[in-house]
């Protein structure tokens, strides 16, 4: 590494976009929630919030999309903050499943306690323990803080679409209720879960959130601690082991950054004490992660040496 000649990060971010777009995108937008299909299919946006307090962007990084599964990281933070570690982990484990995010099978064959908070069953169990009077309002407030933007809202259209099409999630919630894992009312709990998934963000918002995670819970712009560091450790570890669906192992090898993807097309990343990153593009691979988003992040990781086992210092950027 040559400290005397820092690299132009803006250029690298733009190159990551070109690199991603050089791949034919045979992915498919999620349509099992019908409203998710109503998007600009070729959108691609990348945003990086760096610890030098600069923000680097390329492409459609202001375009709004629903946060979907990335909400699972925020609901977990909220549950740990309000109900505590012991209560939360009496309702959900921390082990990868190797199954798709919406799989129900292990709730019957392995344990009635969902295997981790990053799959739908686990997230529903987590929502069930959030200990505030109005869990969705608390979630929205926390999301706004983490993303550094006050005017973040729910997409009513996506929320209603999730409610109509969300019977698989309901099935899981009823199973959890029947086993005593879910203590609260099923319909109320899944409704809060649907609302959380339907919150609209853009790539810059999630890059800010990534930066908070990268800095152990602190907003580097204001110095405010938003999340306790022990909670951030848990969340980032679960992002590594379970954040990229049943592709988490492959992602850890190829890219090596704690990350969480959602079927809205977003991928959130946190590079320890350096960067918050988000890539957004709605066409998904068969596991549910953004095809172009994965390519862009893979490029950034290789070019900037971001892999957690890269063994060399990250280049200096301006
Ligand atoms: N709302 C989606 C669902 O429950 C979230 C899934 C995801 O992004 O992985 O199916």
3-state secondary structure the chain: CCCCCCECHHHHHHHHHHHHHCCCCCCECCCCCHHHHCCCCCCCEEEEEECCCCEEEEECCCCCEECHHHHHHHHHHHHHHHHCHHHHCCCCCCCCCCCCCCCCCHHHHCCCCCCCCCCHHHHHHHHCCCCCCCHHHHHHHHHHHHHCCCCCCECHHHHHHHHHHCHHHHHHHHHHHHCCCCCCCHHHHHHHHHHHHCEEECHHHHHHHHHHHHCCCECCCCCCECCCHHHHHHHHHHHHHHCCHHHHHHHHHHCCCCEEECCCCEEEEEECCCEEEEEECCCECCCCCEHHHHHHHHHHHHHHCCCCCCCCCCCCEC
52 pLDDT above the threshold of 50: yes
Pocket test for ligand 1, best of 262, 280, 285 (most atoms within 8 A of CB): 262
What value does the mean pLDDT take over residues 38-51? 97
Which of the following is catalytic: 56, 159, 208, 245? 245
Question: Is 289 touching ligand 1 by the criterion CB < 6 Å?
Answer: no
Q: How far is the CA of 1 from the centre of ligand 1 (A)?
A: 41
6 pLDDT above the threshold of 90: no
Each residue's pLDDT tens digit, 65-80: 999 999 999 999 999 9
Q: Tell me the pLDDT band of 7, cut-offs 50, 70 and 90.
A: confident
Which of the following is catalytic: 72, 91, 195, 283? 72
Which of the following is catalytic: 69, 248, 261, 289? 69
Each residue's pLDDT tens digit, 194-231: 999 999 999 999 999 999 999 999 999 999 999 999 99
């Amino acid at each position: 590494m040559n400290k005397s000649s820092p690299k132009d990060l803006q250029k690298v971010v733009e190159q990551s976009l070109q690199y991603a777009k050089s791949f034919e995108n045979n992915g498919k937008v999620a349509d099992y929630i019908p409203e998710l299909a109503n998007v600009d299919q070729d959108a691609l946006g990348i945003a990086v919030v760096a610890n030098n307090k600069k923000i680097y962007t390329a492409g459609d990084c202001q375009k709004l999309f629903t946060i979907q599964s990335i909400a699972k990281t925020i609901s977990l933070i909220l549950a740990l903050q309000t109900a505590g570690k012991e209560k939360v982990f009496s309702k959900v484990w921390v082990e990868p499943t190797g199954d798709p995010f919406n799989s129900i099978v292990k709730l019957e064959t392995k344990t009635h306690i969902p295997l981790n908070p990053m799959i739908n069953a686990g997230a529903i169990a987590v929502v069930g323990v959030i200990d505030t009077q109005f869990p969705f309002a608390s979630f929205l407030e926390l999301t706004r803080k983490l993303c550094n933007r006050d005017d973040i809202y729910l997409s009513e259209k996506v929320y209603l679409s999730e409610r109509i099409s969300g019977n698989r999630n309901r099935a899981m919630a009823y199973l959890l209720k029947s086993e005593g894992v879910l203590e609260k009312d099923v319909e109320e709990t899944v409704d809060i879960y649907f609302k959380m998934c339907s919150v609209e963000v853009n790539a810059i918002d999630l890059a800010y959130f990534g930066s908070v995670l990268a800095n152990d819970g602190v907003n580097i712009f204001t110095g405010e601690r938003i999340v306790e560091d022990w909670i951030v450790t848990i969340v980032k570890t679960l992002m590594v082991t379970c954040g990229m669906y049943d592709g988490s192992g492959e992602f850890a090898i190829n890219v090596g950054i704690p990350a969480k993807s959602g079927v809205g097309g977003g991928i959130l990343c946190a590079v320890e004490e350096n960067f918050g990153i988000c890539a957004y593009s709605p066409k998904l691979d068969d596991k549910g992660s953004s095809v172009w988003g994965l390519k862009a992040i893979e490029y950034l990781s290789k070019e900037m040496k971001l892999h957690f086992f890269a063994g060399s210092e990250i280049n200096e950027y301006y």
